[in-house]
Amino acid sequence: MLFAQYLRNVKYFDGEIFVVDMKEARLALAERFNTTPLDVRKVDIVTEVRRRTRGEGIHYLIEATGSGAVFDWLPWVLRHQGTVTVYGGAYFGRDIGALAAFQATENTLVTSAGASGGFDPDGTPTTYRVAMEYIRDGKIDADSILSHRYTELGQIQRAFTEDARQEDYIKGVLVPSDAA
């Protein structure tokens, strides 16, 4: 409830704030603080958040419960490249392993996979387009990291198994045979 008040009254955030809990008193208080209370006992949190955000997910999530069960749904309510503040502690019933060290040092942890960075209006991953522009403009020398070139799809399996283990392997690329 402190975070809800901080976001509303200090940061003047006027967007939707979800408060997930299972206690009626907290849910009622959350509503009083102009948030959207979600009772974890009554709704599927992932489905409800996705519905309410029209599939986009949460941009910024503050985890302050300390409940290990949160990690079952937390990644699935976040938008791509969302931000999480892990404020709760202990997480009984859940081994959070290496996450504990990050939490203790209050670092920002950003993870990525694939086309991180959003999408252009035509659906092209923005990161890929920008990367190609950097290569085109000579800001990035892609040739310097290409240690292996492949001209046939049949060679790809070898690239990920045998070649990737070689000492001189940096990156491989599939190119048409006439461009190799």
- The pLDDT tens digits of the residues spanning 63-84 come to 888 788 888 898 899 988 788 8
Give the E-state strand segments of 32-170 in sequence order: 36-39, 58-63, 78-86, 146-150
* Element of type H or E holding 73: helix 70-77
Residue 36 CA from chain centroid, whole number: 23
Q: Which domains does the chain have, with CATH numbers?
A: 2-105 (3.40.50.720), 115-140 (no CATH), 143-180 (no CATH)
pLDDT at 161 over 80: yes
pLDDT at 15 over 90: yes
Residue 20 CB coordination number (10 Å): 24
pLDDT at 40: 95
- In this prediction, what percent of the chain has a pLDDT beyond 70? 88
Helices and strands (DSSP H and E) totals, the chain: 7, 6
Cα-based angle 148, 152, 149 (whole degrees, multiple of 5) = 15
Q: Are 5 and 34 in contact (CB under 8 A)?
A: no
This prediction has a pTM of 0.61
Digit-coded pLDDT (tens) for 133-158:
999 998 888 888 889 999 999 999 99
- The mean pLDDT value for 162-166 works out to 87
pLDDT at 113 over 60: no
Helix, strand, coil distribution of the chain in percent, nearest 5: 35, 20, 45
- Burial classification of residue 4, based on how many CB atoms lie within 10 Å of its CB (0-12 exposed, 13-18 middle, 19 or more buried): buried
Short-list 73, 66, 75, 74, CA closest to 94: 66
- The mean pLDDT value for 56-63 works out to 91
